[in-house]
Amino acid sequence: MKTILIFIQKEFLQIFRNRAMLPMIFVMPLIQLLILGSAATFELRNIKMEILDQDLSPASRELTARFQHSPFFIVSNNANDIADCEFALDKGWADCYLVLPEGFERDLVNRQGAEIQLVLNSINASAAALINAYSTAIATEYVQSLSDGSGQSIPMIESTYSYYFNPEMNYPSFMVPGILALLITMIGLFLSSMNIVREKEIGTIEQINITPVKKYQFIAGKLIPFWIIAQVELAFGLVIAWLLYRIPMEGSLLLLFSFTAIYLIVVLSMGLLVSTINRTQQQAMFVAWFFMVLFIILSGLFTPVDSMPGWAQKINIINPIKYFIEFIRMVLLKGSGFAETKHLFAIMGAFAGILLPLAMWQYRKRE
């Protein structure tokens, strides 16, 4: 035990003496939360829409006004014909254009069903889908308001929404817990693997191997400091997230930190594994990045896991980041307790139970 403490003391001395380390630990999360917390959003605003009103009727003006009043659209009426609209789309002055054809009002009044045409720049397919959905919503609302006014009811299915667990549809509340998960994963994976490989690179590991230090003491001495730092990082990140975004903390923080403790064993074991198969810090960095990018993209942070193809969802079964993001969202936003998350504890415990012995065994073997 004393030997492990001696290692931990030495690691902390080196970590805090490294000038790049403190900024990395404290400035990096701040910047990431600041930028990603508000930039990484699925919501679209300031959609540039060109409206070509060929009807020039009260009805078409009313619909145009509804788009103008929407917070999502910036509407212009400069186009005289379709060619102008196409040109604006080509030049990127407009993201989409809406054509209200002649006879729009007449068809509406006659209840024949009026047609309008929306043309979208679909280079960004998901943005295009969103614009379509927003536009349809505005048009539908307008038609509904007509029927309400006239007193004649049109049979129509009305859907109402209530957004549970994130009532204001606040994107930072959704993104920030995920970003916190990324941060501590990065700290755990990169710092630990690079640190061990660095000892190989500078040759000090040989001097350690010659001493009676047991492997488990060395590994514990290496991993515990990063285990502590990552937990501190999470606490720091939570404070920043609360100060900047007031993200909700519905669940128990004790539960969150307990889960993180297990999760970090998994991440640090991965770091140890990466360090056993690499001789230089560059190699370690590259391999760590490879897994990091793969796991992040599959994790459900940026795109919902449910919309991934079946094989990708299968890969996700072994993606610890996915479980951690799921957990942190459940606890912070939904206020889930141990009863609702115990399956995640079991999964993460199993990961730790497999990866740590595997990494230690691999480390011994490579000696």
Partner 1 sequence: MDKERIIIVKDLVKRFGDFTANDHLNFEVYKGEIFGFLGANGAGKTTAMKILCGLSKPTSGEANIAGLDIYKDTHNIRKIIGYMSQRFSLYEDLTVYENIRFFAGIYGIRGKEFKKKVQKLIEKLNIQNVAHTLVGAIPLGWKQKLAFSIAMFHEPPIVFLDEPTSGVDPHTRRQFWEMIYQAAEEGVTVFVTTHYMDEAEYCDRVSIMDHGKIAALDTPAKLRETAGAVNMNDVFLKLVRPQKAEL
Task: Return residues touching partner 1 (CB under 8 A).
Answer: 2-3, 6, 9-10, 13-14, 17-18, 202-204, 206-214
List of residues 6+ apart from 234 with CB closer than 8 A = 180, 183, 184, 256, 257, 260
At closest approach, how far in Å is the CB of 217 from partner 1?
A: 9
Element at 96 (helix H, strand E): strand 96-100
Looking at residue 330, what DSSP letter applies? I
At closest approach, how far in Å is the CB of 4 from partner 1?
A: 11
Q: How many CB atoms lie within 10 A of CB 114?
A: 21
At closest approach, how far in Å is the CB of 228 from partner 1?
A: 19
In the numeric block, the tokens 């609209």 are attached to 85
At closest approach, how far in Å is the CB of 213 from partner 1?
A: 5
At closest approach, how far in Å is the CB of 287 from partner 1?
A: 24
* Closer CB to partner 1, 112 or 207, in the complex: 207
Long-range contacts of 29-33 (CB under 8 A, 24+ apart): 29/180, 29/183, 29/233, 29/236, 29/237, 29/240, 30/240, 32/179, 32/182, 32/183, 33/176, 33/179, 33/180, 33/237, 33/240, 33/241, 33/244, 33/245
* Closer CB to partner 1, 14 or 145, in the complex: 14
At closest approach, how far in Å is the CB of 92 from partner 1?
A: 52
Distance CA 192, CA 271 (A): 6
* Closer CB to partner 1, 9 or 144, in the complex: 9
Element at 14 (helix H, strand E): helix 2-17
Amino acid at residue number 41: T
| Tokens coding 212 | 């009676």
Distance CA 143, CA 123 (A): 30
* Closer CB to partner 1, 80 or 207, in the complex: 207
* Closer CB to partner 1, 214 or 279, in the complex: 214
Distance CA 283, CA 288 (A): 8
Distance CA 264, CA 228 (A): 9
Contact 144, 156 (CB under 8 A): yes
At closest approach, how far in Å is the CB of 211 from partner 1?
A: 5
Q: How many CB atoms lie within 10 A of CB 5?
A: 13
* Closer CB to partner 1, 13 or 31, in the complex: 13
At closest approach, how far in Å is the CB of 216 from partner 1?
A: 13
